[in-house]
Amino acid sequence: MHQDLERKLVSASDIQARVAEMGREIARDYAGKDLLLVGILKGSTIFMADLARQIDIPVAMDYMAVSSYGLSTTSSGVVRILKDLEESIGGRHVLIVEDIVDTGLTLNYLVESLRTRGPVTVKVCVLLDKFERRKVDVEVDYLGFLIPDEFAVGYGLDYRERYRNLADIWVLKPEVYTKQGE
Ligand code: PRP
């Protein structure tokens, strides 16, 4: 185990088992529908790749990149779109795929924003829910795991762009991100 990691939060095998269940549920719910999976870069990439392969119906995949709101805009929840969809979503079923919901500001903004573009439905699929940190209500339609308010890395989640490639999800040691002068 890497010295920056405190303990394993969700094992790779638990992730794979849950992702398979979520994929089956999504395939059943969207059978016969035009489904577009929208992955939010970069955290969702690994989850998106695994989830999509567990959905046994035809799906399209697209990606958006959004900026994290700065401190000053935390309360407003305004999120800037850095990379927009290439697909048009009018008349289609959209499922937003996220690695984690924390305050809920990002997903709240994305759902509202995509709903203005004329899709039939916009729903949300999230692997991890750090529910204690929620600031705005977000309806999560498909959820992997509830997690405590600790710094999670791995399976797409990063600390300063590192650890995304870990197969398990880990808790980062607090001294790593509270260290001064880095
Ligand atoms: C994470 C995550 C969500 C957002 C959730 O992205 O992927 O997009 O934060 O937080 P919220 O519920 O408080 O809005 P991050 O900004 O870390 O970017 P990344 O996916 O590129 O790592």
**How far, in Å, from the CA of 43 to the mean position of ligand 1?**
7
The pocket around ligand 1, CB under 6 angstroms, is made up of 40-43, 68, 98-106, 158
Testing ligand 1's pocket by substitution, the residue of 76, 106, 149, 157 carrying the most ligand atoms inside 8 A of its CB is 106
pLDDT on residue 18: 98
The number of residues in the chain equals 182
List of domains in the chain:
13-148 (3.40.50.2020)
102 in catalytic set: yes
Confidence of residue 45 (pLDDT cuts 50, 70, 90): very high
pLDDT on residue 78: 77
- Average pLDDT over the chain reads 94
pLDDT on residue 97: 98
Spot the catalytic one: 102, 129, 149, 158: 102
**How far, in Å, from the CA of 98 to the mean position of ligand 1?**
8
